[in-house]
Structure 1
Amino acid sequence: MQKLIQVIIERKTDLLLALWQHVQISIIALVIAMLIAIPLAIWVVRHRRFSEFFLQLTSILQTIPSLALLGLLIPFVGIGTLPAIIALVVYALLPIFQNTYLGISEIDPSIEEAADAFGMSSARKLFKVELPIAMPQIISGIRTALVLIIGTATLAALIGAGGLGTFIMLGIDRNDTSLLIIGAVSSAILAVTLSLVVRWFQSIKPIHAILAFLSLLLLIGSGSVYTTYYNRIENITIAGKLGSEPEILINMYKELIEDNDEHANVQLKPNFGKTTFLFSALQNDQIDIYPEFSGSVLETLVKGKVAKHQTAQETYDLAKNMLSKEDKLTYLKPMQYNNTYALAVTEKFKKENNLNNISDLAKINGLLKPGMTLEFIDRDDGMRGLQKAYGFKVSAKSMEPALRYEAINDGRINLVDAYATDSELKEYNLALLKDDKNFFPAYQGAPLMKTKFANQHPKVVKALNKLAGKISNQDMQEMNYAVNVKKEPAASVAHQYLVQHDLIKE
């Protein structure tokens, strides 16, 4: 409990920002869903032959897996808040539409007849009779939708929209229970609180409910306007993928840029998402710079088949040229370390089975119990291609990055994929098997940006090129260990390295 409180105190600013982002996304999505679902349900009540179609349609939309829906939206609307809101609206339609439709359609026919007998118009009957009677059921649908939205909105962190999901994703990535608890509990408290607020609206006079609701919208709108105005100031936005290593790097970028240009205003977006999300954000001017690996460029971001078994320099040169040619992007000089894929086993398992090279695994094929990330299992330069190159065949369990290390430490699995600079290799005393057939491509990190941005910001390019050829594999593994295991802030670790290597002054 003491550790949890300490983490909350240390991260209170980040928590408040994430909470505000979560509230904004959730309320905006709820309002849009209400504006679509309630009028549609009222119309369907008057045209009941369409009722089954719309009930089925909203039901089908809600069955689409949230991650799949976000992935489908990215090519059309990019990443960030917009696709998150669209996805949340889709999930909120069913409970609001269904409850509004049932609430009105199930009103006692004698009440409808009485209203008609008094000569009420359709609009007057709707607002004076039908909606007041159906309101408890409509509010119930809105509350259900709101709780659903708040829970699903945690996935917004995967596409750079922020929110409380940032804490959950960071907790999973760093195996930090405190961050997981903060994200999950905060989301649950927010859901209960806003659900009670919606219920309170039902208990007060309609005019007061309308005024309170408009005040809430004004507050959220003012925050959005302020954010939009603030973002008009020219900032340099640097994002990083999930994990300690990208966060360390972007903090180095920030310090180097600001040290080289006192007028630079750098904003960081750590744990922004996976490779394709960041690349899309860069192409759509949602961010200006992010660190990318040469192997990832050739495997994921550029078109066409790429030759295998290249040197690190050849891999970087090809990645740089193809990015420039295909996407008009500038790939700055790479750092020294090569964060390539690797296979790891415990020291005990290595000794018991006389393992040194990856090719040795073919001799103990029946003993292997691999646990690997889904990305590694599915990649051509991962498990799929590896088994062909080395001649062994096993079925690997798909696991979250942090969980696979826990599993091998507990003995539930005996082989994991790894990155050469992972802190867990040191933490759990794991041994890397030599890639004796040079299967894995080189993965050297370097800043990626638009060529237009690079031409407009020569001081930024000069500052970031100070990292060229710096940071060894050992350096990066030690820095990752400091963040993930010793729980030191990534910004402090980055600063210490830059000072120790005379890249900035103390």
Structure 2
Amino acid sequence: MTTLWNTFLDQRMELLKALWEHLQISLTALLIAIVIAIPLAIWATHHKNVAEVLLQITSVLQTIPSLALLGLLIPLVGIGSVPAIIALVIYALLPIFQNTYVGIDEIDPSLEEAADAFGMSRMRKLFKVEIPIALPVIISGIRTALVLIIGTATLAALIGAGGLGNFILLGIDQNDTSLIIIGAVTSALLAIILSALIKFLQTARLRTVILTVGVIVLGFAGVSGYQAVSQPKQNIIIAGKLGSEPDILIHMYKDLIEQDDKSVTITLKPNFGTTSFLFNALKSQSIDIYPEFTGTVLESLVKKSGNTANLSAHETYIKARDALKKQDNLAYLKPMAYQNTFAVVVKRSFAKKYNLKTISDLKPIENELNAGMTLEFINRTDGLKGIKQKYGLDFKVRSMQASLRYEALKRGNINLGDAYSTDSQLKQLDLVMLKDTKHVFPPYQGAPVMSEKLAASHPKIVRALNKLAGKISDEDMQKMNYEVNVQKKSAAKVARQYLVSHGLLRDAK
């Protein structure tokens, strides 16, 4: 409980920000779903055959897995809150449409006849008779939709929309139960509180319901409008991949830019996704800057030109920089000193048992290997594909989330995994990195990548970020990762502490 409370205190400001993002996404999706589903259901009560078709369509839409739906929406509308809201609207349509249709369709026919006998028009009958009678059922559908939306909205973090899902993803990645609990409990409490509010509206008059919805809409519009007006002309979005290291780096970027360029504000998108996801987000201008590694650029992001094996670290950077500019008109700034290369790791006891020192040593025991690796590593030529090709290996492997494969190694559920050379878990779990004698893994030096347009228009940003060029050793980064993953310090504090102690930041703020 002490750890949980300390984590809550340390993350309270981030929690408030995530809660607001979650609330914005959820209520926006709910209001849009209400505007679509209720009028459509009212119209469908007079077209029975069409109503059955619409019920089937909304039912089918709700069966689409949320991750698949988000993946389908990204190429169409990009990343961020827009695809998240669209997906949530789709999931909310069924309960609202169904309850509105059933609530009106099952009104006692004698009441309908009485309204007609009084000479009521269709609209007057709708608002004076049908909706007031069906309102408890309609509100019940909205309540169901809201709970569904709030729970599903945690997945919005996977596509850079923020929300409480950020805490859950970060907790999983860092194997931090406190973060997972904070994210999950806050999401559950939000659902309970809003559900109780909607339950109150079930017994309220139609005028009260409309007034409440109006106040919510105006409140959100006012806050959003204030935020838009109060922000400077340009907001720079810096994103990072999953994990503590990218999180540390983007906080360094933020501190350095804010110190040297007062004309912009910085929005951070930590734990934003995998390599291809961020690269496509950068090209589509959904984000402005993210840290990328030289070897990753050459192996995964640009078209290969010539042999890249056995290049020095500097040659790899030059080749990556030139290729990014030529292919996508992107600027690749100067790299840091450390190299965060891929690695294949085993427990020390397993290495001693089979005398494992290099990846080639796995060949005689490949039938005994039970590997767990990240999906990205499995599908990269500078990952498992390259290992199988150059070393002639073929062993059982299953995809795992980054932190889970470390837990699986620790528990003995797997005996082989992938890693990054600066991961704190290597020291923490006493893992052995097998030498890559056939050079599957090229040099990996991290550096900021952005559009040439942004680099040209904001030279202060370029100068600020280039202060990290040649800085941060392998030991520095492994130490900082350890502080975040094991000692549970925030990435922001660890990043700022490094910058201040190395004279890159004037004060600790």
* Cα deviation, residue 48, structure 1: 1.5
Equivalent position of 1:466 in the other structure = 467
User: SS in structure 1 opposite 2:432?
Assistant: strand
Equivalent position of 1:319 in the other structure = 320
Contact 2:358/2:434 (<8 A) preserved: yes
Equivalent position of 1:71 in the other structure = 71
1:112 and 1:305, CA in 2 relative to 1: closer, same or farther beyond 3 A? Answer: farther
Equivalent position of 2:222 in the other structure = 222
Contact 1:368/1:414 (<8 A) preserved: yes
Equivalent position of 2:485 in the other structure = 484
1:211 and 1:464, CA in 2 relative to 1: closer, same or farther beyond 3 A? Answer: same
List alignment gaps of at least 5 residues for structure 2.
none
Equivalent position of 1:177 in the other structure = 177
Give distance in 1, aligned partners of 2:160 and 2:348. Answer: 38
Give distance in 1, aligned partners of 2:304 and 2:97. Answer: 46
Contact 2:232/2:264 (<8 A) preserved: no
Amino acid in the other structure paired with 2:413: R
* Cα deviation, residue 307, structure 1: 4.3
Give distance in 2, aligned partners of 1:393 and 1:10. Answer: 46
* Cα deviation, residue 385, structure 1: 3.1
Give distance in 2, aligned partners of 1:230 and 1:239. Answer: 22
Equivalent position of 2:455 in the other structure = 454
User: Percent of aligned pairs with the same residue?
Assistant: 61
* Cα deviation, residue 261, structure 1: 4.4
1:299 and 1:63, CA in 2 relative to 1: closer, same or farther beyond 3 A? Answer: farther
TM-score by length of 2: 0.94
List alignment gaps of at least 5 residues for structure 1.
none
Equivalent position of 1:358 in the other structure = 359
Equivalent position of 2:127 in the other structure = 127
1:429 and 1:62, CA in 2 relative to 1: closer, same or farther beyond 3 A? Answer: same
Contact 1:295/1:443 (<8 A) preserved: yes
Give distance in 1, aligned partners of 2:105 and 2:267. Answer: 52
1:409 pairs with 2:410: yes
Output one character per residue of 1:14-54: Cα deviation in whole Å (capped at 9) or x when no partner: 11111111111111100100111111111122111212221
Equivalent position of 1:296 in the other structure = 296
1:266 and 1:276, CA in 2 relative to 1: closer, same or farther beyond 3 A? Answer: same
Give distance in 1, aligned partners of 2:150 and 2:218. Answer: 20
Give distance in 1, aligned partners of 2:480 and 2:10. Answer: 20
User: SS in structure 1 opposite 2:396?
Assistant: coil
Give distance in 2, aligned partners of 1:264 and 1:32. Answer: 32
Q: Which moved further from structure 2: 303-312 or 103-112?
A: 303-312
User: SS in structure 2 opposite 1:150?
Assistant: helix
Contact 2:135/2:206 (<8 A) preserved: no
**1:112-191 equivalence runs, <5 A:** 112-191=112-191
Contact 1:78/1:280 (<8 A) preserved: no
Q: Which moved further from structure 2: 111-120 or 331-340?
A: 111-120
* Cα deviation, residue 239, structure 1: 2.3
TM-score by length of 1: 0.95
Contact 2:172/2:180 (<8 A) preserved: yes
Amino acid in the other structure paired with 1:250: I
Give distance in 2, aligned partners of 1:99 and 1:505. Answer: 60
Q: Which moved further from structure 2: 313-322 or 263-272?
A: 263-272
Q: Which moved further from structure 2: 131-140 or 216-225?
A: 131-140
1:384 pairs with 2:385: yes
Amino acid in the other structure paired with 2:357: N
1:64 and 1:230, CA in 2 relative to 1: closer, same or farther beyond 3 A? Answer: farther
1:152 and 1:349, CA in 2 relative to 1: closer, same or farther beyond 3 A? Answer: same
* Cα deviation, residue 151, structure 1: 0.5
User: SS in structure 2 opposite 1:371?
Assistant: strand
Aligned residues: 506
* Cα deviation, residue 89, structure 1: 0.5
Contact 2:300/2:380 (<8 A) preserved: no
Amino acid in the other structure paired with 2:117: A
**1:4-403 equivalence runs, <5 A:** 4-261=4-261, 265-303=265-303, 307-311=307-311, 312-403=313-404
* Cα deviation, residue 67, structure 1: 1.5
User: SS in structure 2 opposite 1:290?
Assistant: strand
* Cα deviation, residue 177, structure 1: 0.5
User: SS in structure 2 opposite 1:228?
Assistant: helix
